[in-house]
């Protein structure tokens, strides 16, 4: 099994309940296709570098998963037809960095 990091960007107008249902939907697709979810990070509502379909912001959800090419292709096939998503990206990695939280605000500000 290979290791993958998969990020989806959901439209900014979605509520917390809708985001939770999308996480559940894609988690089930991964598990149904012989994949294993290691970690799911909700990065929150972030600015996009450029406007996509009249959206200036997007809700980012990041999956760290183990799977094979069938798992990834089935996941991406479902995401291509999902009207709730703006973009998605899958990257194969050699190992996961589970210790660092890149989007956590640090209270220690140095002067």
pLDDT tens string 10-66: 998 888 899 999 999 999 999 999 889 999 988 889 999 999 888 899 999 999 999
- The residues, ordered by sequence, that sit 6+ positions from 11 with a Cβ below 8 Å of its Cβ are 53, 55, 58, 59, 84, 85, 86
Percent pLDDT > 70 in the chain is 88
User: Most distant CA pair in the chain: distance in Å?
Assistant: 50
In whole angstroms, give the CA distance from residue 34 to residue 67.
6
pLDDT of the residue at 74: 92
pLDDT tens string 99-109: 766 666 555 55
Interval 71-93 mean pLDDT: 92
In whole angstroms, give the CA distance from residue 79 to residue 64.
16
pTM recorded for the entire structure: 0.84
- All domains of the chain in start order, with CATH: 2-93 (3.30.70.60)
């Amino acid at each position: 099994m290979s290791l993958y990091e998969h990020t989806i960007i959901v439209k900014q107008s979605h509520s917390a309940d809708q985001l939770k249902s999308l996480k559940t939907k894609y988690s089930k697709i991964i598990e149904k296709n012989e994949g294993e979810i290691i970690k799911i990070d909700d990065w929150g509502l972030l600015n996009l570098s450029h406007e996509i379909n009249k959206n200036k912001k997007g809700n980012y959800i990041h999956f760290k998963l183990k799977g094979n090419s069938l798992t990834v292709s089935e996941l991406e096939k479902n995401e291509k037809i999902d009207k709730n998503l703006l973009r998605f990206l899958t990257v194969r990695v050699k190992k996961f960095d589970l210790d660092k939280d890149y989007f956590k605000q640090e209270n220690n500000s140095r002067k």
